[in-house]
Amino acid sequence: MHPTEREAAVADYTAKRIEEMEAVYDGAFVRARAALGVRSFGMAVEDLPPGWDGYPEHDHESDGQEEVYVVLRGGGEIVIDGERVALDPETIVRVGPGAKRKLVPGSDGMRVLALGGAPGEAYEAPEWSKAGAAAP
């Protein structure tokens, strides 16, 4: 194989350990999207300590974003419009833009991968989610 052909075959990927990624809020919000260079959807890792009640209830009515939550470690609940839904590594939850949601970690805490984007829209990362930006 000619050397330039080999160079052209280099795979396009980024691999990083979560611990190597920039985090804000005392490590609770990991900027995984920015760390990996993802441009087509939002993505963050959220490390919530046991019993913590500080996760903000919010919706995405204004930007039309739906979110998917995947527990990587631990467990707890997500409260969606007042309904409590168990979250664990075997359960994946999608929440539509207009529904209010709040993560509630259990006694072991919870590490969650949160993915988001607005259906049919090009993703635009909010300034606060970019590497080096001040936390909101």
pLDDT in tens, 16-65: 999 999 999 888 999 999 999 999 999 999 999 998 999 999 999 999 99
Whether the pLDDT of residue 7 is over 90: the answer is no
Q: Residue 18: CB partners within 8 Å, gap ≥ 6?
A: 30, 32, 45
What band does 1 get if pLDDT is binned at 50, 70 and 90?
A: very low
- If one compares 119 and 10, the residue with the highest pLDDT of the two is 119
What band does 2 get if pLDDT is binned at 50, 70 and 90?
A: very low
pLDDT given for residue 64 in this prediction = 95
Instruction: Compute the chain's Rg from CA coordinates.
Output: 17
* List of domains in the chain: 16-120 (2.60.120.10)
Strand runs labelled E in 19-136: 23-24, 29-30, 42-48, 66-80, 83-87, 92-95, 101-117
Q: Residue 74: CB partners within 8 Å, gap ≥ 6?
A: 50, 105, 106, 108, 109, 110, 111
